[in-house]
Amino acid sequence: MSNNLKYGTIGSPEALELADKYGDHNYLPLPVVIAKGEGVFMWDPEGNRYYDFLSAHSTLNQGHCHPKIIKALCDQAQILTLTTRAVMDNKLGEYEKFITEYFGYEMVMPMNSGAEGMEAAMKIVRKWAYNVKGVEDDKAIIIFTENNFHGRSIALVSGSSNPHYYKGYGPLLPGIAKVPFNDSNALKDFLVENGKNVAAFFVEPIQGEAGVFVPDDGYLKSCFDLCKEHNVLFVADEIQSGLARTGKLLGCDHDNVRPDVLVLGKSLSGGVLPVSAVLADREIILQIEPGQHGSTFAGFPLAGVVVKAALEVVRDENLAENALELGEYFRKEIRSIKHPMLTLVRGRGLLNAIVVKPKDGLEAWDVCLMLKDKGLICKPTHRHTIRMAPPLIITKEQMVECVHIIKDVFNAL
Ligand SMILES: *Cc1c(COP(=O)(O)O)cnc(C)c1O
């Protein structure tokens, strides 16, 4: 065991070796080991400090180990953590009132991971299609967009257009159609043709995993209006774009759309627990009756208390305003870098991506390694796109320093 460690009991090489030998190989992480997180910073066991420009894919909007959220977690953990919904606990209703008022919906269905939230939304809209819209049994269609990312369950990858995500997992689930993203005419054509069987249209207000694609202004509104015209539910997957990430509370707020079904996850717990939520009005949520859906941890008291604290942080610390302002600053500064490898910066609020053109055998992955060596951690989402998404609590001074790091790296290339 090395004795020059600052955090934890094993060093980076040992940590990497153990995980490689004993753990799954589903991921290709950056070669860095994190031992501690606080606010916008992470440290490796050896004590090197990094700015976190990943935020666990927008799961740490409130920053690492936010004291208010951690306090809520620790306090509740000593009183009651789990009952299952077989009985009522004294925290669930309070949480449900809080979150529905916060987002302006009549009801919530608490779930755990994002994928589970999306699965629940698929079940809800199918029920709605049969019970309310009157679609013939087993004929309901859900429309996804091309290049979506809604999660990794079999149902969700059945609607994916990325072979990495669905190949080898067949047979896939029928009843999912795909239309191009940012093309409301394509949605219109599909609905004109098949609208009577369509339950819902699922969309990310910004496609995050795909590489931070921001649709044109008015796209979400046009889609919403088309859905209304054809009696189709508009379902927003705001798992990544929600909770102030894009400079407004929700990505849909940029187009003044109120989704019929809103799915949240990731930062809903400030990176502390896997928690998701499906919000909608009574007529929609209540299509699922007792015994027809559930999960052991759905709505557990520890989660309710943590989410309430995490949402209070989003509001009380003005994270949306901060993301809006520093996002503008970030894109302006990055656009001022003139370098042949840096071809594009796009995004909204603090959900941004840069597109890196390979040169002399160097590509986005190498840029990320250089950024890491200078103390800033981010990762390519596809081969040439680097997503940059720091915690939303980042200050102007910290952002100025991060922009310097990025400029230094491109100067050195
Ligand atoms: C991360 C993500 C999901 C899936 O969430 P998990 O908690 O990983 O299951 C779904 N949709 C979007 C837009 C996401 O970014």
Q: Where are the domains of the chain?
A: 67-316, 319-375+398-408
User: What does the CA dihedral 16, 21, 23, 28 come to, rounded to 10 degrees?
Assistant: 50
User: What distance in Å separates the CA atoms of residue 21 and residue 179, rounded to the nearest whole number?
Assistant: 41
Does residue 149's CB lie within 6 angstroms of at least one atom of ligand 1? yes
CATH superfamily for domain 319-375+398-408:
Aspartate Aminotransferase, domain 1 (3.90.1150.10)
Would residue 52 show up in a list of annotated catalytic residues for this protein? Answer: no
Q: Would you call 83 helix, strand, or coil by DSSP?
A: coil
Q: What is the pLDDT of residues 204-237, one digit of tens each?
A: 999 999 999 999 999 999 999 999 999 999 999 9
265 close to ligand 1 (CB < 6 Angstrom): yes
pLDDT at 1: 47
Task: Quote the ligand 1 centre to 61 CA distance (angstroms).
Answer: 15
Q: Is 266 a catalytic residue?
A: yes
Say yes or no to pLDDT of 329 above 70: yes
Would the CA dihedral through 141, 147, 152, 154 be positive or negative?
A: positive
Same fold, 67-316 and 319-375+398-408: no
User: 69 CB less than 6 Å from ligand 1?
Assistant: no
Instruction: Please report the pLDDT score of residue 196 as a whole number.
Output: 98
The reply to whether the predicted model has a pTM over 0.85 is yes
* Residue 115 CA, closest ligand 1 atom number: 9
Atom of ligand 1 nearest to the CA of 118: 10
Distance CA 237, CA 146 (A): 14
Number of neighbouring beta carbons within 10 Å of residue 130:
16
- What value does the mean pLDDT of the chain take? 97
Q: How far apart are CA 403 and CA 351, in angstroms?
A: 15
Does ligand 1 lie within 6 Å of residue 117's CB atom? no
As given in the structure block, the two tokens for residue 384 are: 């040439």
Active site residue 149: yes
Residue 253 Cβ < 6 Å to ligand 1 = no
Q: Does ligand 1 lie within 6 Å of residue 204's CB atom?
A: yes
| Ligand 1 touching residue 115 (CB < 6 A) | yes
CA 31 to ligand 1 center in whole angstroms? 23
Ligand 1 center from residue 236 Cα (angstroms): 12
Tell me how far CA of residue 141 lies from CA of 128, 211, 274, 297, in angstroms.
12, 27, 29, 29
Q: Whose CA is nearest to atom 15 of ligand 1?
A: 240
What's residue 4's pLDDT? 83
**348: which 2 tokens?**
């909204």
Determine the length of the chain. 413
CATH of 67-316, one of 3.40.50.1220, 3.40.640.10, 2.20.28.120, 3.30.450.150: 3.40.640.10
Give pLDDT, residue 3: 63
From 103, 149, 201, 330, active-site residue: 149
**Residues 6+ away with beta carbon under 8 Å from 253:** none
Task: Report helix, strand or coil for 233.
Answer: strand
Percentage, residues of the chain above pLDDT 70: 99
Q: Is the pLDDT of residue 275 over 50?
A: yes
Distance between CA 15 and CA 17 in Å, rounded?
Answer: 5
**Cross-strand pairs, 349:** none
**pLDDT for 66-121, tens place per residue?**
999 999 999 999 999 999 999 999 999 999 999 999 999 999 999 999 999 999 99
**Beta pairing partners, 234:** 201
